[in-house]
């Protein structure tokens, strides 16, 4: 694991932030000692504490939302909400409240000032408290809006971007409506799973009556690198994943493929992006009974080094033309070939998925796979043609099943004083 | 329904709250100051059109052929007092505190449905509402205690009818009476849960039985009626139910039975939590599928608890009061879709999506009600 300290301008230290961080509350005493007695917590925000030794806080505000090109954190809690109110005012009020809470939590603070223990004995604490003493852990909270939010309920129809059309049915899709769609999505990523869960939990609980959770997904291992500072991780098939992913440092490529530009579509969307989420169940047991040679043929890379079968080292270029006798070295239906920019006329997306395991199903098989998240400038021109190609031809289809699907439009980042979704209301 | 009760308001012991209740003892004998109410299926004759601030006592006689109820409402249909399940030929007493001058409404409800036959009741005189907090809280606690007692009276009546039908071998009638009797229990269950092992005796579910534990109460009879048919000990279980309900009545009618004002908010919350945990899943009435009767009763009980605190909430946090009223209305409207005749459709006909919608409404309401205890405690 590389240390991302100071490698990008999206990180800052907590010392630059106002307020008392959860970590600072405990100060030099440390969480373990502080837990010895709740009474000892009060007033521990003293000056005599060590400064943060690592860049732990990702800036909440900026030109773009954090959590897209931010170096992928280790853990994720993703949630999709249905808006249950019919009131535009209530929805706007919730988004404002969420924004305040989200900004606080990404800075390592409680959802509300002193909310875990300071509200008194007779009200449910306004912060649930399980993140007390935990660092900000590079928490990012990224919001997106689904096509369904632009129906006739709130008067957003005229603000709907053209590319925010429901994804088509892809071959062999086996989608569960209870794991698909949603009016609003929030992606929480952090290096500590408890921090990510805390964030979503606290946002969800203030939403009751206005929005309710439609589905959610926990992810425990990033399955792609979004920065050159990161090693390439492995997915649950045991293969390196994300070697050819777009990297944050390639700003031209990012601008070309990820961020919506002025003039692309709705003006309020400039600087935003689209989020495609797919819950891809991996048929782990079948895969584990597959011989190594077949596994590598299906993927198109060697399992050990991650090198394309046409090369020797991980980052060697994918050579789709190389032959072994009459046959291509990288099979015609190998996953890397079908997903490559060369094959797709230059199409690229920024992948940001996570491994998931939700225990086992009733057959004793792991309910596990890849929670695929992609960010792109136009899903209809990028994700859709890519997935059409993969769903028809990918050798990997024998070992996976798409069981959940959703599409969201993510607005641009917030300037000081702005709130989530402001572009929809103004 | 739970063997282990979560202590929603365990903090009451550290609360520095006034516990002294206003001197409003319930006399069991009629006096000349009493107002008589003579109800029939079409009429509701009251011996007085007005009264003085303070305590009024109504003697309600049902000369009709339907079971009736009698209510005293303040503005906005806030029930100041009620006596329910008055069978034909019976006389029941209602003692109600009307601390402020104003126009109240009296209502008889033959058949226990609808808005009832109403008339105005004018109260004049100096306000007996204490302007200080302790007076308000004591009034709330007193009002809620009266509600509890009124429900237990109805519980005793309906339970006896249910048990009679069971013992007579009249299965269809017993099945019809089962959710009716439970209504009065489900409205006040958090109070019943405060009396030691009483709640498990009355309301234990089969799934919560421990090895070797004797299974008594409503749900045991539910299984006998709906699944196995009468068992050799069915009648004994039915008799025990009457004994256990009588024990509950003895407890809540005891002179030293008091209610901590902060506990009222805990009860309101606890009743909604009951729905979220066992009603919404259909686990509570797994044999009879009469969960929606319980569901509505929990909501009613929660609303009654909040209503007792309403003046305090209104004064200290009007926005919260308005939100709670709105959320209760939303939930009632949602539940109304499932009404059928005098009761509800069976819960196994309510699909997953409909259950989710009910659950959302409950969550929305609970989020508001969870703030009440803090308001009451002055936090």
Residues 6+ apart with CB under 8 A from B365: A209, B272, B324, B327, B328, B330, B331
List pLDDT tens digits, range B51-67.
Answer: 998 878 899 999 999 88
- CB–CB of A120 and B15 under 8 A? no
Of A353, A80, A90, A45, which Cα lies nearest the Cα of A225?
Answer: A353
Q: Please compute the mean of the pLDDT values over residues B255-267 and round it to a whole number.
A: 85
CB A350 within 8 A of CB A244: no
Residues of chain B that touch chain A, judged by Cβ-Cβ distance less than 8 Å:
11, 14-15, 262, 327, 360, 363-368, 370-371, 373-374, 376-377, 379
User: What angle in degrees, to the nearest 10, is found between the helix axes of B352-369 and B291-316?
Assistant: 30
Span A260-289, average pLDDT: 95
Distances (CA, A) of A288 to A397, B12, B53, B202: 15, 57, 81, 53
Res. A385: pLDDT tops 70: yes
- Whether ipTM tops 0.90, in short, is no
Question: What is the reported pLDDT for A16?
Answer: 42
More confident residue, B13 or A90: A90
DSSP letters of B90-109? Answer: -EEEEEEEE-S-EEEEEEE-
Inter-chain CB proximity A212 and B360 less than 8 Å: yes
Nearest CA in chain B to A119: B379
Q: Do A122 and B374 touch (CB under 8 A)?
A: yes
Q: What is the pLDDT of residues B320-342, one digit of tens each?
A: 999 999 999 999 999 999 999 98
The pLDDT of A316-324, averaged and rounded, is 92
Q: How many CA atoms lie within 13 A of A27 on its CB side?
A: 12
Does residue A123 sit at the B interface (CB-CB below 8 Å)?
Answer: yes
As a whole number of angstroms, the distance between CA A200 and CA A130 comes to 12
Disruptive mutation site among B334, B357, B360 for chain A (greatest number of A CBs within 10 Å)? B360
Higher per-residue pLDDT: B261 or B134: B261
Nearest partner of B80 among B51, B100, B60, judged by Cα? B100
Contacts of B360 in chain A (CB under 8 A): 84, 208, 212
Chain B contact present for A212, CB below 8 A: yes
The dihedral built from the CA positions of residue A56, A60, A64 and A65, taken in this order, carries a sign that is positive
* Mean pLDDT value across chain A: 88
Q: Identify the residue whose tokens are 């299984």.
A: B223
Average pLDDT over residues A190-214: 97
pLDDT of residue A395 exceeding 90, the answer is: yes
pLDDT of residue B2: 45
Q: What is the mean pLDDT of residues A406-419?
A: 98
Looking at residue B10, its pLDDT comes to 38
Higher pLDDT, A137 or B112: A137
Q: What is the mean pLDDT of residues B299-319?
A: 94
Residues of A whose CB is below 8 A from B366: 208
Work out the pLDDT band at B243, boundaries 50, 70, 90.
very high
Q: Above 70 in pLDDT, residue A42?
A: no
Neighbouring residues of A137: CB distance < 8 A, sequence distance ≥ 6: A56, A73, A108, A190, A191, A192, A195, A196
DSSP state of B3: S
Contact B379 A122 (CB under 8 A): yes
The pLDDT assigned to A244 comes to 85
Answer whether residue A180 shows pLDDT above 50: yes
- Taking an 8 Å cut-off on Cβ atoms, the answer to whether B374 and A205 are in contact is no
As a whole number, the mean pLDDT across chain B is: 86
Q: Is the pLDDT of residue A198 over 50?
A: yes
**8 A C-beta contact, residue A311 and residue A319:** yes
């Amino acid at each position: 694991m590389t240390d991302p300290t100071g490698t990008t301008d999206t990180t800052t230290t907590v010392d630059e932030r106002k307020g008392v961080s959860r970590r600072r509350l405990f100060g030099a005493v440390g969480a373990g000692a502080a837990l010895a007695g709740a009474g000892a917590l009060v007033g521990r925000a003293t000056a005599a504490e060590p400064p943060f030794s690592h860049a732990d806080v990702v800036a909440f505000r900026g030109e773009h939302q954090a959590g897209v090109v931010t170096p992928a954190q280790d853990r994720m809690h993703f949630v999709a909400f249905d808006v249950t109110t019919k009131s535009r005012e209530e929805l706007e009020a919730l988004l404002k409240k969420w924004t305040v809470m989200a900004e606080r939590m990404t800075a390592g603070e409680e959802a509300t000032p002193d909310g875990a223990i300071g509200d008194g004995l007779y009200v449910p604490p306004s912060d649930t408290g399980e993140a007390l003493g935990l660092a900000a852990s590079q928490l990012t909270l990224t919001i997106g809006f689904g096509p369904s939010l632009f129906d006739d309920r709130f008067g957003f129809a005229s603000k709907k971007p053209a590319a925010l059309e429901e994804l088509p049915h892809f071959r062999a899709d086996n989608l569960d409506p209870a794991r698909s769609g949603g009016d609003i999505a929030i992606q929480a990523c952090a290096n500590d799973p408890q921090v990510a869960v805390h964030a979503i939990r606290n946002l969800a609980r203030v939403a009751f009556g206005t929005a309710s959770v439609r589905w959610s997904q926990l992810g425990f291992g990033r399955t792609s690198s979004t920065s050159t500072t990161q090693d390439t991780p492995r997915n649950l098939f045991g293969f390196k994943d994300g070697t050819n992913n777009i990297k944050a440092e390639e700003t031209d490529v990012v601008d070309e493929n990820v961020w919506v530009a002025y003039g692309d579509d709705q003006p309020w969307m400039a600087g935003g992006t689209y989020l495609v989420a797919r819950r891809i169940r991996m048929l782990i047991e079948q895969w584990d009974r597959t011989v190594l040679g077949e596994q590598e043929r299906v993927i198109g890379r060697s399992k050990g080094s991650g090198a394309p079968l046409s090369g020797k080292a991980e980052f060697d270029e994918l050579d789709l033309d190389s032959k072994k006798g009459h046959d291509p070295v990288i099979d015609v239906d190998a996953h890397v070939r079908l997903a490559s920019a060369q094959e797709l006329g230059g199409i690229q997306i920024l992948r940001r998925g996570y491994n998931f395991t939700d225990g086992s199903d009733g057959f004793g098989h792991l309910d596990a796979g890849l929670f695929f998240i992609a960010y792109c400038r136009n899903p209809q021109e990028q994700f859709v043609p890519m997935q059409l190609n993969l769903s028809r031809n990918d050798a990997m289809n024998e070992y996976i099943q798409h069981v959940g699907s959703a599409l969201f439009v993510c607005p641009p980042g917030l300037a000081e004083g702005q709130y989530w979704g402001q572009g929809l209301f103004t | 329904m739970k063997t282990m009760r979560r202590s929603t308001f365990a903090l009451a012991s550290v609360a520095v709250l006034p516990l002294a209740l206003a001197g409003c003892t319930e006399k069991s004998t009629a006096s000349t100051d009493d107002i008589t109410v003579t109800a029939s299926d079409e009429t509701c004759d009251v011996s007085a059109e007005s009264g003085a601030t303070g305590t009024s006592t109504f003697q309600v006689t049902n000369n009709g052929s339907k079971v009736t109820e009698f209510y005293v409402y303040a503005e906005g249909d806030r029930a100041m007092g009620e006596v329910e399940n008055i069978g034909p030929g019976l006389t029941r007493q209602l003692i109600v505190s009307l601390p402020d001058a104003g126009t109240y409404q009296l209502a008889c409800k033959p058949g226990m449905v609808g808005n009832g036959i109403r008339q105005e009741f004018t109260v004049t005189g100096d306000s007996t509402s204490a302007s200080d907090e302790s007076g308000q809280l004591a009034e709330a606690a007193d009002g809620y205690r009266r509600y509890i007692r009124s429900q237990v009276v109805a519980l005793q009546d309906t339970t006896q009818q249910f048990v009679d039908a069971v013992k007579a071998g009249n299965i269809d009638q017993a099945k019809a009476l089962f959710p009716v009797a439970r209504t009065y229990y489900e409205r006040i269950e958090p109070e019943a849960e405060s009396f030691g092992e009483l709640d498990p005796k009355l309301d234990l579910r089969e799934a919560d039985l421990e090895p070797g534990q004797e299974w008594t109460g409503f749900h045991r009879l539910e299984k006998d009626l709906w699944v196995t048919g009468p068992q050799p000990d069915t009648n004994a279980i039915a008799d025990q139910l009457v004994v256990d309900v009588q024990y509950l009545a003895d407890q809540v009618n005891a002179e030293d039975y008091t209610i901590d004002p902060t506990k009222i908010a805990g009860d309101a919350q606890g009743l909604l939590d009951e729905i979220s945990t066992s009603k919404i899943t259909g686990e509570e009435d797994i044999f009879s599928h009469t969960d929606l009767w319980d569901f509505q009763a929990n909501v009613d009980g929660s609303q009654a608890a909040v209503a007792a605190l309403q003046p305090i909430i209104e004064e200290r946090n009007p926005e919260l009061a308005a939100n709670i009223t709105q959320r209760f209305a939303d939930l009632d409207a949602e539940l109304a879709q499932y009404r059928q005749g005098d009761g509800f459709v069976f819960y196994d006909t309510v699909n997953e999506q409909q259950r989710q919608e009910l659950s959302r409404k409950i969550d929305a309401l609970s989020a508001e009600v969870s703030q009440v205890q803090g308001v009451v405690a002055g936090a």
